[in-house]
Amino acid sequence: MQKATIHLETLTCPSCVMKIENAAKAMEGIDKDSVQVMFNSSKLKFNFDDDRVKINDIVDTITKLGYEVKKSQVKAL
Amino acid sequence: MQRFILSKKNQTAFIGAILIVFGFISRFALRNETIATIAFAVASVIGIAPIAIQAYQALRVRVVSIDLLVTIAVIGAFLIQNFEESAIVTFLFLFGAYLEQRTLNKTRSAIKELTEMAPESALKQLENGEFIEIDVDEVEVGDILLVKTGAKVPVDGTVLTGEGHINQASITGEPLPVGKHADSAVFAGTILENGTLQIVADRVGEDTTFGRIIELVEEAQDSKSKAERFIDRFARWYTPAVLVLATIVWFFSRDIELAITILVLGCPGALVIGVPVSNVAGIGNGASHGILLKGSEVIVDFSRVDTIVFDKTGTLTIGEPEVADVQIYSADVDTVKSYAASIENESDHPLAKAVVKHIGAVQLFPVEKTNVIKGGGIVAEVDGHSVIVGNLTLMEREGVHLSDRARADLSKFEANGNSLVMASVDGELQALIGIRDQVRPGIKDDLAKIKKLGVKNLVVLSGDNQGTVDRVARELGLSEAHGHMLPEDKAAYIQNLINKGHIVAFVGDGVNDSPSLALAHIGIAMGSGTDVAIETSDVVLMNSDFSKLPHALGLTKATARNMRQNIAIAVGVVLFLLASVFFSDWMNMSIGMFVHEGSILVVILNGMRLLRYKLKP
């Protein structure tokens, strides 16, 4: 398992949080319970399985959802 | 294409505004209704594009968002050819989003300033001895780094060579620079004011003290209280419910105008954003005053606190006790001193340090069979003798004989406000040492401020004897004082208060008092910022500055009040809007959107007031 922190553009609408959360939870290989969207610090944190999903695909999904990704960090758990 | 439209939202709002103004000019000044209609229609179409895209994206991940409500409402307005309203609604929605972003950034600014103090780059030594600049994320434990004058220390580390003065305000809150030389510990995020240092990295990234503080504050600003989680759950169902309600209204009344007005009015914006805004502004204010508040639950609890329990040593007092009175009963003064110093050297206890410091340089003996008795002292063998150094409880437990004279001295010392350390050799009391700790300067005023904020019940608990504790309590005007308390006794005392229904905060140093810190509703650690205290407590006062406590209390009260105001504003506005749509005839989509966006701005601006919060003198 890997732990990822994605820095997003500044989040301003609360429904963004729900959108990003649902999108992340729907992805294969992401641990649903670990998904955390931080409204004020505009970050998305989650654990994922590197064998089943790549961080770049996750970043792509978030970008396609309409949110700019500023930086993503991955750390081994 | 989608991304282009979304990225130009602000420009879209601006163009929409121009078109709307143009539309009104052509209607009222030029009396040309056709041009006016075209202008409004164009404004609606370009305005709804980004909103509709967001609504669609949300639907794809099964979220019924506000955007969807607005999109349907605008389409509805189009169908009944009310272009003027659809144009104004889209403009207000986009313009509102822009203002929300601007003002939200303001409320978040205090914490942003803190995170921006994080170091970004480091100078790392290569194998050939040269230094190259690398990103701070690439630094690994064990790397040798160069820190130049004016630069930030990139990681927590130890100085290898060089000397300099470091401003550690970002970690400890202490404004005066601290001298550093070989073997000194240095901390990430602090600034080297002069000199040059070579350091070896001990902890990097999020493991550094600064990294932990940042992480803590960031988690805190997004933590949710019970009330907030309730609102979130509510909002999740509220938006779809509004959609259903509007459909039902339309189905029975066949009045599209009414149905789409309900859609616009039903947006839950202010309700969802109100509490997080107060939260982030309150925590931001705390952070810029050296107070770390760990989240919104902490704020709510602390604002309702009715009892504050203080540890004495290091909290109410400075924590650097000094020997004030000494009585030695043995004829061989030097030997007694040597034995006592030998044993006390083994301990990190503040009283032990005071004894060692007072005795000074004497002959030291090897100490064997050391047995540290928690909350009592030390029993050991020195130079072939059984030596006990500790408090009265320990002496009595070990069966040390106390003469009448010693007992008289004891009460005299205690009445003077001394903490007592006794030394016995082979079961006979040889020395009585009275140690005193000064109360922190200014603490009396701070406690008075706390009382004024409505916390009447102030209690001091201490492992010291009752005389000392009573003296401190009298001097500071505390309501209760209890001495002879071990850490577990303090925890039991706090549990008892909690059982009685009090809301209890505990203020302690966080090292021996972690059970109490964890048990109390609010654990407040007097941390120098480098302690484990940061982890175990709910509130951290940086640089152990007690004077921050009244500010922290006042701030949490103001923040909790602010959250309640925001909830009231949000709920009030929605009720008002829904009532007026059914019971008045002046309500329409544009006014509804205006009031709705206005209420969001009002709660954000209300939250922003917290950034400037100061405790009234």
- pLDDT tens by residue, B546-600: 888 999 999 999 999 999 999 999 888 888 888 888 787 777 888 888 888 888 8
CATH number for the segment(s) B287-316+439-553: 3.40.50.1000
Class of domain B322-436: alpha beta
Residue-level pLDDT at B503: 93
Give the chain B residue nearest A26 (alpha carbons): B61
pLDDT confidence of B175, banded at 50, 70, 90? low
Q: Are B66 and A13 within 8 A, CB to CB?
A: yes
- Tell me, what's the ipTM? 0.85
Hey, which residues does A44 pair with through a beta bridge? Answer: A6, A37
**Residue A9, domain CATH:** 3.30.70.100
Q: Give the gap in angstroms from C-alpha B9 to the nearest C-alpha of chain A.
A: 12
Residues of chain B contacting A6 with CB distance shorter than 8 Å: none
Specify the number of domains making up chain A. 1
Residue B232 φ then ψ, to 5°: -60, -45
**What confidence tier does B471 reach under pLDDT thresholds 50, 70, 90?**
confident
pLDDT at B425 over 90: no
User: How many CB atoms lie under 10 A from the CB of residue B499?
Assistant: 8
Query: What is the pLDDT, as a whole number, of residue B529?
Result: 46
pLDDT at B531: 53
Region of poorest pLDDT, from B165-169, B217-221, B545-549: B217-221
Residues 6+ apart with CB under 8 A from B485: B461, B462, B463, B493
**pLDDT tier for residue A14 given thresholds of 50, 70 and 90:** low
Is-contact B104 A12, C-beta < 8 A? yes
Contact of B6 with chain A, judged by CB distance below 8 Å, is answered with yes
Where does the pLDDT of residue B533 fall: very low under 50, low under 70, confident under 90, or very high at 90 and above? low
pTM: 0.76
Interface contact B66, partner A, CB < 8 A: yes
- Write down the pLDDT at residue B530: 45
- Does the pLDDT value for residue B268 go beyond 70? no
Domain edges within chain B: 121-214, 287-316+439-553, 322-436
What is the rounded (10 degree) CA torsion for B606, B611, B612, B613?
A: 80
What is the mean predicted confidence (pLDDT) over A61-75? 86
% residues pLDDT > 70 (chain B): 97
Lowest mean pLDDT among A9-23, B272-286, B292-306, B517-531: B517-531
Q: Please, which pLDDT band fits residue B528 given cuts at 50, 70 and 90?
A: low
Best to test chain A binding among B10, B63, B231, B239 (most A CBs inside 10 Å): B63
Interface residues of A toward B, Cβ cutoff 8 Å, are 10, 12-15, 18-19, 22-23, 26, 38-41, 43, 63, 65-66, 73
With 60 as the cut, is the pLDDT of residue B606 above it? yes
Q: How confident is the model at residue B200 (pLDDT cuts 50, 70, 90)?
A: very high
Greater confidence, B515 or B126? Answer: B126
Residue B229 burial by Cβ neighbours in a 10 Å radius (0-12, 13-18, 19+):
exposed
Residue in B62, B219, B273 closest to A14 by CB: B273
Class of domain B121-214: mainly beta
Average pLDDT over residues B508-528: 78
Q: Identify the DSSP state of A34.
A: G
B156 is catalytic: no
In which domain, by residue range, is A61 found? 2-76
Query: Do A18 and B221 lie within an 8 Å CB cutoff?
Result: no
Alpha-carbon gap, residue B97 to B90, rounded angstroms: 11
Q: Test A38 with B218 for CB contact under 8 angstroms.
A: yes
Report the chain B residue with the minimal C-alpha distance to residue A45: B219
Shortest CA gap A51–chain B (Å): 24
